[in-house]
Amino acid sequence: MSSIRSISILFTFALIALASLGASPRSQDEMTPEEPAAEVDVHAEWRERLVDDGRTVILENVEGNTCLECHATIGDEWRHSTHATAWQDENYQKELKSIRRKKGCWGCHAPVDLLGIAGGGTPATRPEFRHLGVTCTTCHMGKDGAILGPKGQPNDAHESLEHHLFDAEASSELCMTCHDTTIGPVIGVAKDFAQTDLQEYGESCVGCHMPAIRRPWANDPTTGDATPMRPGRSHRMQTPRDPEFLRSAFDFAIELEAEKGVLVISNTTGHRVPGLVERELRFQVELLDADDKVKGSAEHTIDHRTFLPVEEDLRLEIEGKRGAKIRVRAWHKAPGMRSEVRFLDRVLEP
């Protein structure tokens, strides 16, 4: 689908630690290294958008995660992510009760360090601090104890080295370690991504689920003073609990004919939609004339059985004469949600 290759939708670390909700920051060459840290909560607006989908919003108990002593800002992002709450998540714990081989889930909800098995292998379960879910060391701890990332950063706390798995071309490999697994209600959507050529066009899990951001990368554990601002990727992990993020999963086009109108819905993610059993996305469309009078309507729901495949389109026909535009509204429903949440309301004209 052309829209996928022409738009760099923000899509990560599906494991990392994991559309595009904001413009990319200035390139690193344009950054001023000495630019002071801002005294603002860069995630405040994002948190306000989140809907109650039955999942834990923040990990309160961070005992055992010593990384947060020097990485408070990034740690706050992580605490609000579905990675941090992967073990504490109420839906996960409820689903776990009905699964016979529970240990098959543990390896992705409280995994050991993954860098050693990225690209092939089954994640093992961390023997302690399971409440931390997918934690910092899960993705960043090397075999020899060094902390690995997109860039090495000399410091007195630990060895910090650059690693190729954090390059843009390889940034989905870590994610796929867990997210290519289909078990219980979870669908291994990373397999869809692996079967496309999207990575050749610069698409990745990180690019969508870890938005580009500028913030301090560390702080002095004694004084609390933050390092200068620099570009990076947010560890808050974008998910459909954010309506704005969910809207970015689709592109729309319309076709108007004498006796009907057609709404074309394109999947702009790197995988099937939806990617969870019992998640439903209901679309309601109306054919309007030039005076906004309804000339016809149609409705369609996609779920894990009638999903929209990656790089494919859905055509919804609305019978009616003298159509001049089409209004599309959509609602999201998932396990744990008390009611549907509208995430889209748009009028499309030729």
d(CA 88, CA 110): 10
Asked, for residue 211, whether it belongs to a domain, the answer is: yes
Q: Which of 208, 238, 268 is the last residue of a domain?
A: 238
Percent helix / strand / coil, the chain, rounded to 5: 25, 25, 55
Residues 267, 179: one domain? Answer: no
Asked, for residue 39, whether it belongs to a domain, the answer is: yes
**Over pLDDT 90: what percentage of the chain?**
61
Residues 36, 133: one domain? Answer: yes
Asked, for residue 156, whether it belongs to a domain, the answer is: yes
Confidence of residue 43 (pLDDT cuts 50, 70, 90): confident
- Ordered DSSP codes for 145-168: S-EEESS----SSS-EEE-GGGSG
> Across the beta sheet with 260-267, what order do the strands follow?
250-256, 260-267, 313-319
Residues 65, 138: one domain? Answer: yes
Residues 199, 339: one domain? Answer: no
Confidence of residue 122 (pLDDT cuts 50, 70, 90): confident
Confidence of residue 28 (pLDDT cuts 50, 70, 90): very low
Of 274, 280, 279, 332, the C-alpha closest to 301 is 280
Residues 95, 211: one domain? Answer: yes
d(CA 59, CA 200): 36
Better-predicted residue by pLDDT, 5 or 239: 239
CATH number at residue 279: 2.60.40
Averaged pLDDT, 289-317: 97
Residue 91 predicted with pLDDT over 60: yes
Residues 174, 303: one domain? Answer: no
Residue 129, domain extent: 2-238
Asked, for residue 316, whether it belongs to a domain, the answer is: yes
Confidence of residue 40 (pLDDT cuts 50, 70, 90): low
Write down the pLDDT at residue 300.
98
Averaged pLDDT, 92-101: 89
Write down the pLDDT at residue 234.
92
Residues 269, 163: one domain? Answer: no
- The total domain count for the chain is 2
- Residue with tokens 């219980």, as numbered in its chain: 184
Specify the amino acid at residue 79: R
Write down the pLDDT at residue 117.
81
Give the burial class of 42: count Cβ atoms within 10 A of its Cβ; 0-12 exposed, 13-18 middle, 19 or more buried: middle
Residues 195, 153: one domain? Answer: yes
Of 11, 69, 65, 38, the C-alpha closest to 220 is 69
Residue 81 predicted with pLDDT over 80: yes
**Over pLDDT 70: what percentage of the chain?**
87
- Residue with tokens 């060459």, as numbered in its chain: 29
Write down the pLDDT at residue 89.
93
Write down the pLDDT at residue 41.
67
d(CA 308, CA 39): 42
Residues 231, 294: one domain? Answer: no
Give yes or no for a contact between 342 and 333, defined as CB atoms under 8 angstroms apart.
no
Confidence of residue 167 (pLDDT cuts 50, 70, 90): confident
Asked, for residue 244, whether it belongs to a domain, the answer is: no
Residues 74, 212: one domain? Answer: yes
Write down the pLDDT at residue 45.
80
Q: Provide the β-strand partners of residue 345.
A: 329
Residue 16 predicted with pLDDT over 50: no
237-256 b/e (C-beta count within 10 Å ≥ 16 → b): bbbbbbbebbbbbbbbebeb
Asked, for residue 243, whether it belongs to a domain, the answer is: no
Q: What six digits make up the tokens of 318? A: 């609305």
Pairing of strands 147-149, 160-162: parallel
Confidence of residue 11 (pLDDT cuts 50, 70, 90): very low
Write down the pLDDT at residue 42.
62
Give yes or no for a contact between 205 and 190, defined as CB atoms under 8 angstroms apart.
yes
Averaged pLDDT, 99-116: 90
Averaged pLDDT, 60-86: 95
Q: For 269-290, what is each residue's pLDDT tens digit?
A: 999 999 999 999 999 999 999 9
Q: For 226-259, what is each residue's pLDDT tens digit?
A: 988 988 899 999 999 999 999 999 999 999 999 9
Question: What's the pTM value of the predicted model, to 2 decimals?
Answer: 0.83
- Residue with tokens 């009638």, as numbered in its chain: 306
Lowest-pLDDT range of 43-57, 171-185, 209-223, 336-350: 43-57
Asked, for residue 126, whether it belongs to a domain, the answer is: yes
Q: For 250-270, what is each residue's pLDDT tens digit?
A: 999 999 999 999 999 999 999
Q: Which of 205, 238, 271 is the last residue of a domain?
A: 238
Residue 20 predicted with pLDDT over 60: no
Instruction: Please provide the average confidence, as pLDDT, over all residues in the chain.
Output: 86
Residues 212, 280: one domain? Answer: no
Averaged pLDDT, 94-122: 87
Residues 136, 194: one domain? Answer: yes
CA 147 to chain centre: 23
Write down the pLDDT at residue 37.
45
Asked, for residue 294, whether it belongs to a domain, the answer is: yes
Lowest-pLDDT range of 20-24, 71-75, 239-243, 246-250: 20-24
d(CA 147, CA 340): 42
Q: Which of 183, 217, 238 is the last residue of a domain?
A: 238
